[in-house]
Amino acid sequence: MRQSLSEKRTALLAVVLSVLLAVVAVIDQAGRGSLLDHAATAYAQHGKQVSAGSLYGLVYGVAVIDALLWLVVAGLARSRRLIAAIVGVFVVLLTAALGITLLVSSEYGVHPFPAIWGVLALLPAAAGTVAVALLLRRRR
């Protein structure tokens, strides 16, 4: 029982880190707009304009998808079934792929997202890796 609480807490940490990504994006969009400034400067060299809605929308989408997926894992973490670990592995891979996408995406040779955004998007996958390791260890 105590171990399953640890697994659930770690999965919930991944949810919190996902929400943190959205909160940072809201603060950036409402305040300095550094993400938009970075992308606008990078795309201006190619005569392109960037939309704040699509740029921040992508970050919000990653945050929401991550949070929802980790909520599922947190819900399954209390079960003693193998499906919790299997879903956990799938979610780690999917959320890591979303984070890596923000980290390495480019267009016209331009990286619209500074590395910090990719790192923030990878944090839920890192916390989730710990949760999955605990789930897999429990299965032994």
- DSSP annotation string for 91-119: HHHHHHHHHHHHHH--BTTB-SS-HHHHH
Confidence of residue 1 (pLDDT cuts 50, 70, 90): very low
Query: What pLDDT shows up at residue 107?
Result: 85
pTM, two decimal places: 0.88
Give yes or no for residue 24 having a pLDDT over 50: yes
Alpha-carbon torsion (126, 128, 129, 133), positive or negative: positive
**What 3-state DSSP class applies to 77?**
coil
pLDDT digit string, tens, across residues 60-98: 999 999 999 999 999 998 776 788 889 999 999 999 999
Instruction: List the chain domain ranges.
Output: 2-138
Residue 73: alpha-carbon gap to chain centroid: 14
